[in-house]
Structure 1
Amino acid sequence: MNILEVSNVKKRLGKREIIKGISFNVKEGEIFGFLGPNGAGKTTTIRMLVGLIAPNEGSIKIVGHDLKKDREKALSCLGAVVENPELYGYLTGRENLMQIARIRKVPKKRVDEVISLIGLEGRINDKFKKYSLGMKQRLGLGAALLDNPKLLILDEPTNGLDPSGILDFRNIVKKAAKEDGMSVFVSSHILSEVQQLCDTVAFINNGEIQSIENLCDSNIETKTDTMIVITTENNDAIDIIKNLEFVNNISEDIGALTVNLNPNSTPQLVEALVQNNIGVVEVYKKHVGLEQRYMELVEGGIR
């Protein structure tokens, strides 16, 4: 089931066309990444999705409700964290959530659930103005999750967060998607964050979607596999690996071997090493495909 349907949406500012006929769908429980450089049209698209501005052409449907024709029902299925959360600084985190809960007729039990989900139990009774940026982001996410929206929209959600905060934020979003079936639309320009969080990614540049690809599909990883191999005898391993017909290239860097080989050839690689009495300490795939696709589609070529 498609929770979000965007069909041939265009947006003009004056005579300038900012969004040039984009179309995509977000399925139930899917984390959908919207990836592109600054100025590509990501924020304009999000402003249309949350109803802040209207498209000049095309349609946006949320859970089947047309945002233009049935605005109230469409937005009732939506939660969003756009830019920095704007909540009341003189209220505590809990008081802020309770205010929103009263307006949306959300029971107190759900407020307590959300506080636990976002991990703010220890600071929820502090004033919002005393929160760090990461804590404010968490509380903003909690506010968006209060009434269990079918669609959650996040605009550059990890901006300003430290590594620990990014990891916590990612886990909260994944849990909401996988356990509650919530659809998540994430706009970002950070490649690593999109790759680790999203199921699907749309590449946008100059107001146009260049490609939509499934990150679970190995095809995005290019036509070869790149493996990191650590052995007990790297020098001997190099001599063996470079003569294997399914290996395209091999290099060594700080005790690890980077092996570029034909798809699905890793078992044969490991078997060849073991047969030659080379101890295999670790083998894992180097995920570089999203970076390469980004450069191909958005930057015009691999650097």
Structure 2
Amino acid sequence: MSIEVQNISKNYGSQKALDAVSFTINKGEIVGFLGPNGAGKSTLMKILTTFISADGGTAKVNGYDVTTQALEVQKSVGYLPEHNPLYLDLYVREYLTFNADVYKVAKTRIDEVIALTGLTPEAHKKIGQLSKGYRQRVGLATALLHNPDVLILDEPTTGLDPNQLVEIRDLIKNIGKDKTVFLSTHIMQEVEAICDRVIIINKGKIVTDNTIENLVQEVVEQVIEVAFDQSVAESLFQQIPDLTQAINNDSTWELTFTTHEDRRTQVFDFAQANGLKILQLSLKSKNLESVFREKTK
């Protein structure tokens, strides 16, 4: 077992950041850790990497207890925090050499992680000259220097443009072939593209833990997009059974239902009853975003 968390709790004054959180992650899994802002994601990651201590419960990483075997945990974990701490005045290779000395790893490993993370074209530059995407690569290279079995990545794609997102996503997916990866992000498409499994936390408690495929099948919420030949008052939609929300996006309405039953027939009946012609009608596919909304609302 790569990560074992049992009844971990953490309080900040009167605020309960983590409330008896428990889960396990097997070796070789890539697991996405999702939740709204303030749900407890970063707090748990800091506990797993020994930056802070829990108020209760136990946690092990690679079999090492985060409280009593902190040094062993640190040696076996690669951590990229949300705010990537870099020395901007150092050159990429200089910075990695410094960290290699800290970890007491061979200097040959520096060239290996530079190649692995795609830093070769920028390795001669100062970190302050790099784009956000390449700075994230430097952070990942640092986390990989000591060849850890587990990578813990807190918001690794924050602030990246679409091209950088794809690059970092592919990099993480490639790294995950040989290592256990536990990552948090707000970008659902990234989780769907990278992860085998998803853990969702809300208000300090785990609300779901499953594969993406299974989670999507559980979603009760159904969303239909429809465009009519004329404007429609929102109040009219109350005629349709199980409708919980109607949102007007320019000329298209997004109708949300709380049922597995296909409601497109009822939308047709609604249009006919109100003298409307349907110009477009589609059932939006269920995705992780639907799961997230349903589990954290």
User: Structure 2 length as normaliser, TM-score?
Assistant: 0.77
Measure the CA separation in 1 of the matches of 2:182 and 2:119: 24
Which residue of the partner structure matches residue 277 of structure 1?
A: none
5+ residue gaps, structure 2 = 223-260, 268-278
Which residue of the partner structure matches residue 296 of structure 1?
A: 294
Whether 2:184 is the aligned partner of 1:187: answer yes
Measure the CA separation in 1 of the matches of 2:31 and 2:219: 24
Contact 2:58 2:65 survives alignment (8 Å): yes
Cα–Cα, structure 1 residues 145 and 126, in superposed 2: closer, same or farther, change >3 Å?
same
Contact 1:222 1:289 survives alignment (8 Å): no
Aligned positions, number: 246
Cα–Cα, structure 1 residues 221 and 256, in superposed 2: closer, same or farther, change >3 Å?
farther
Cα–Cα, structure 1 residues 259 and 84, in superposed 2: closer, same or farther, change >3 Å?
closer
Cα–Cα, structure 1 residues 90 and 219, in superposed 2: closer, same or farther, change >3 Å?
closer
- 1:258: Cα distance to partner? 4.7
Whether 2:86 is the aligned partner of 1:77: answer no
Contact 1:221 1:289 survives alignment (8 Å): no
- Residues 52-80 of structure 1: CA deviation (Å, up to 9, x unaligned): 11101001101111111111112211111
- 2:94 partner SS: helix
- Residues 138-159 of structure 1: CA deviation (Å, up to 9, x unaligned): 1001100111111111111101
The correspondence of residues 25-44 of structure 1 with structure 2, limited to 5 A, is: 25-44=24-43
Measure the CA separation in 2 of the matches of 1:201 and 1:213: 6
Which residue of the partner structure matches residue 147 of structure 1?
A: 146
Measure the CA separation in 1 of the matches of 2:67 and 2:98: 28
Q: What is the one-letter code of the residue matched to 1:125?
A: H
Measure the CA separation in 2 of the matches of 1:295 and 1:90: 42
Which residue of the partner structure matches residue 211 of structure 1?
A: 208
- 1:15: Cα distance to partner? 2.8
- Equivalent position to 1:199, from 193, 196, 199: 196
Cα–Cα, structure 1 residues 256 and 194, in superposed 2: closer, same or farther, change >3 Å?
farther
Which residue of the partner structure matches residue 9 of structure 2?
A: 10
Measure the CA separation in 2 of the matches of 1:156 and 1:195: 15
The correspondence of residues 1-303 of structure 1 with structure 2, limited to 5 A, is: 2-178=1-177, 180=178, 182-215=179-212, 217-218=213-214, 220-222=216-218, 249=264, 258=282, 286=285, 288-299=286-297
Which residue of the partner structure matches residue 281 of structure 1?
A: none
- 2:46 partner SS: helix
Cα–Cα, structure 1 residues 174 and 256, in superposed 2: closer, same or farther, change >3 Å?
farther
- 1:189: Cα distance to partner? 2.1
Contact 1:221 1:290 survives alignment (8 Å): no
Q: CA RMSD in A?
A: 2.3
Q: What is the one-letter code of the residue matched to 2:287?
A: G
- 1:257: Cα distance to partner? 8.2
Contact 1:18 1:206 survives alignment (8 Å): yes
Which residue of the partner structure matches residue 229 of structure 2?
A: none
Contact 1:84 1:137 survives alignment (8 Å): no
Measure the CA separation in 2 of the matches of 1:293 and 1:83: 24
- 1:122 partner SS: helix
- 1:187: Cα distance to partner? 1.1
- 1:38 partner SS: coil
Measure the CA separation in 1 of the matches of 2:195 and 2:3: 16
- 1:222: Cα distance to partner? 4.3
Q: Taking every aligned residue pair, what percent have the same amino acid on both sides?
A: 37
5+ residue gaps, structure 1 = 227-245, 261-285
Cα–Cα, structure 1 residues 219 and 212, in superposed 2: closer, same or farther, change >3 Å?
closer
Measure the CA separation in 1 of the matches of 2:116 and 2:280: 39
Cα–Cα, structure 1 residues 294 and 247, in superposed 2: closer, same or farther, change >3 Å?
closer
- 1:46: Cα distance to partner? 1.4
- 1:99: Cα distance to partner? 1.2
Contact 1:213 1:220 survives alignment (8 Å): no
Contact 1:101 1:146 survives alignment (8 Å): yes
Q: What is the one-letter code of the residue matched to 1:188?
A: T
